[in-house]
């Protein structure tokens, strides 16, 4: 994972956060397009694409257009498709993709598929981690980590 991506993600956090997530996404998208299929790159790229779909421009830096939403949806789906063959054994990936689908399935391409997939991923993730994920696994992992650590704290959450 590139430090400049984490720096951009971290600059987006908090009350005085800057809309720097689109810039982080562009760096990771280029890495992905150049063949980097590292798990951490994929998780951050998936998160940034998803967050760009669901949150407004003033928070993310992504322009609000149908073309951008289409690209972000395609990237979200592409990253998922790459990791899907091994996702069943990865509680964190099941959690991250599943929670994204559970919360905003209606904003994703193939919305009905994502609605069901989110339910299936929760069941699979809970089979691996019956008490949920430890939020500490997300420490020092930028906006991706900050977001999902917070979600792990939700009592009886996803």
Is there a domain that residue 46 lies in? yes
Structural domain that includes position 99:
3-152
For position 155, what pLDDT does the model report? 84
Is there a domain that residue 18 lies in? yes
The pair of three-digit structure tokens given for residue 63, joined into one six-digit string: 């322009």
Is-contact 46 96, C-beta < 8 A?
Answer: yes
Is there a domain that residue 53 lies in? yes
Report field, pTM of the whole predicted structure over 0.85: yes
Is there a domain that residue 117 lies in? yes
Is there a domain that residue 158 lies in? no
Is there a domain that residue 157 lies in? no
Is there a domain that residue 146 lies in? yes
Is there a domain that residue 132 lies in? yes
Give the model confidence (pLDDT) of 12-63 as tens digits.
999 999 999 999 999 999 999 999 999 999 999 999 999 999 999 999 999 9
1 has pLDDT over 80: no
Q: How many domains does the chain have?
A: 1
Distance CA 43, CA 109 (A): 18
Distance CA 23, CA 19 (A): 9
> What is the DSSP secondary-structure string of 24-62?
HHHHHHHHHHTT---HHHHHHHHHHHHHHHHS-HHHH--
């Amino acid at each position: 994972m590139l430090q400049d991506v984490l720096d951009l993600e971290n600059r987006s956090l908090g009350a005085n956060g800057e809309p720097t997530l689109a810039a982080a996404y562009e760096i990771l998208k280029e890495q992905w397009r150049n063949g980097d299929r590292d798990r951490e790159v994929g998780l951050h790229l998936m998160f940034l694409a998803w967050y760009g779909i669901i949150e407004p421009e003033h928070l993310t830096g992504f322009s609000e257009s149908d073309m951008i939403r289409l690209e972000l949806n395609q990237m979200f789906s592409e990253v998922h498709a790459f990791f899907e063959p091994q996702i069943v054994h990865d509680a964190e990936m099941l959690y991250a993709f599943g929670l994204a689908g559970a919360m905003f399935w209606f904003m994703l391409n193939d919305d009905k598929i994502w609605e069901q997939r989110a339910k299936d991923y929760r069941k699979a993730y809970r089979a691996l981690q019956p008490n949920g994920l430890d939020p500490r696994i997300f420490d020092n992992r930028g906006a991706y980590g900050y977001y999902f650590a917070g979600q792990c704290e939700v009592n009886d959450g996803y």
